[in-house]
């Protein structure tokens, strides 16, 4: 009995479960049948859809100008195997947009409401710089800079700005004079411009002469000379030369008042009775008429006598070939910088000449360390004088010296 039981146990262990093995094979086949179409669809989408990656923001710096414009410098990483890179911009009103790869080469781009699409051409890192007008708002005397950054960032406040409140003070990392380092996230910085001493005195003088010039211009009084002095005063104030700015503003005010007095005097003279003026000046008028008549008679006689001589003299000159004519003297490049031009405008024109005759307005602001509004006034002033021309190129203002034949 014991031997028979042992044999039965051995038989049970040797005999396989065929139904269980068949069930496993059928389930494996079904899984493969489901995965195959999904894999085919994935490969098709990879071929058909354009390749595009989203770069990760690595660093961002904000520089706030006194007029409320914010300059943004940001760096993003890129996948060298992807032809395009999508980046998110700070603000919707974008200007002076420039993007470069790690070697400093300019890259093509397109800007839409969602950000910028950049043609990377194998770049692994891109540097982006642009101006935004949406990050700063003003209510009364209080300016507010609002930001929501996904990474830690720095902000450089304008000169003469006093910070009165930071919405999230716990996010402050470091403060170095006008440069503040903040942690990522939403934040608001409220500030106002404080002036005292020489700065306040210069600012008051500039505002007074501005008002005087505006009133005089409304009466069609020529304020060109006064406006030029005022521009110099504003330039000196922006460069913290407050004493010079006040002196220039006072000179501008004196010129403006002189033009106003001359205009009033001319108006009074024109209001005088014309009959009385004619009686007082009748002798001078008669003498002038006689002198003019005699001069006309003499000129007529001289023209008749010299007419034939002039024709004989001019005929051989007019018949000469163009080869014999002397070439016109070349215009020296320094003639562009005239004596009547302001000193800062001369420096701007000289820089353009050394830079190949053109430069972006953004580069000029960096070169001369001027706010956007001050540089824009200088550029527009040179454009009115016919020295330069302004062209929009890739969302930037390209300032270009006019050619000699165009400026003449």
Nearest one of 95, 111, 127 to 361, comparing CA atoms: 95
pLDDT of residue 177: 78
119-123, 128-132, 144-148: which range is least confident on average? 119-123
* pLDDT over 80 (residue 116): yes
Q: Supply the pLDDT for residue 243.
A: 85
Measured between alpha carbons, how far is 206 from 208 in angstroms, rounded to an integer? 5
Task: For residue 149, count other CB atoms closer than 10 A to its CB.
Answer: 19
pLDDT over threshold 60, residue 329: no
**Which residues, other chains included, contact 48 with Cβ-Cβ below 8 Å and sequence gap of 6+?**
none
List pLDDT tens digits, range 227-238: 998 999 898 888
User: Rounded to an integer, what distance in angstroms lies between the CA atom of residue 365 and that of residue 373?
Assistant: 10
**Given the DSSP bridges, would you call strands 84-87 and 115-119 parallel, antiparallel or unpaired?**
antiparallel
Return d(Cα 152, Cα 142) in angstroms, integer: 25
Model confidence pLDDT, tens digit, residues 330-378: 434 444 455 567 888 888 899 999 998 999 988 888 888 888 888 888 8
Q: Of 270, 156, 250, 150, which Cα lies nearest the Cα of 207?
A: 250
Q: In the chain, what is the straight-line distance between the N-terminal and C-terminal CA atoms, in Å?
A: 129
User: Which segment of 56-70, 143-157, 188-202 scores lowest on mean pLDDT?
Assistant: 188-202
For residue 318, pLDDT over 60 is answered with no
Q: For residue 223, what is the DSSP state?
A: -
Tell the burial category of 236 from Cβ atoms under 10 Å away from its Cβ (0-12, 13-18, 19+): buried
């Amino acid at each position: 009995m014991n031997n028979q039981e042992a044999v039965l146990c051995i038989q049970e262990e040797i005999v396989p479960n065929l139904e269980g093995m068949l069930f496993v094979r059928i389930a494996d086949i079904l899984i493969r049948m489901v995965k195959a179409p999904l894999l085919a669809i994935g490969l098709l989408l990879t071929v058909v859809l354009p390749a595009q990656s989203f770069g990760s923001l690595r660093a961002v710096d904000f520089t706030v100008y006194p007029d409320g414009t914010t300059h943004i410098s940001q760096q993003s990483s890129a996948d060298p195997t992807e032809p395009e890179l999508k980046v998110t911009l700070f603000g919707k009103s974008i200007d002076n947009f420039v993007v470069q790869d790690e070697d400093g080469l300019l890259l093509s781009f397109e800007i839409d409401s969602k950000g910028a699409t950049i043609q990377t051409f194998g770049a692994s890192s891109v540097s982006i710089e642009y101006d935004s007008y949406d990050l700063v708002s003003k209510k009364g005397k209080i300016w507010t800079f609002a930001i929501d950054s996904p990474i830690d960032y720095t902000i450089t406040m304008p000169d003469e700005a006093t910070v009165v409140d930071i919405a999230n003070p716990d996010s402050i990392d470091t403060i170095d004079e006008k440069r503040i380092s903040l942690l990522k996230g939403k934040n608001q910085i409220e500030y106002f411009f404080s002036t005292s001493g020489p700065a306040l005195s210069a600012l008051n003088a500039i505002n007074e002469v501005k008002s005087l010039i505006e009133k005089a211009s409304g009466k069609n009084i020529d304020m060109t000379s006064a406006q030029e002095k005022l521009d110099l005063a504003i330039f000196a104030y922006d460069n913290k030369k407050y004493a010079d700015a006040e002196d220039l503003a006072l000179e501008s005010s004196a010129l403006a008042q002189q033009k106003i007095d001359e205009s009033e005097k001319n108006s009074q003279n024109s209001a005088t009775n014309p009959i009385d003026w004619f009686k007082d000046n009748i002798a001078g008028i008669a003498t002038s008429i006689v002198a003019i008549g005699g001069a006309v008679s003499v000129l007529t006689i001289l023209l008749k006598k010299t007419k034939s001589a002039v024709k004989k003299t001019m005929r051989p000159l007019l018949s000469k070939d163009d080869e014999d004519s002397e070439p016109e003297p070349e215009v020296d490049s320094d003639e562009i910088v005239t004596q009547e031009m302001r000193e800062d405008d001369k420096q701007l024109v000289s820089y353009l000449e050394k830079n190949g005759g053109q430069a972006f307005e953004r580069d000029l602001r960096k070169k001369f360390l001027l706010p956007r509004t001050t540089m824009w006034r200088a550029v527009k002033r040179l454009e009115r004088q016919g020295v330069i021309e302004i062209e929009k190129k890739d969302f930037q203002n390209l300032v270009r010296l006019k050619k000699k034949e165009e400026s003449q």
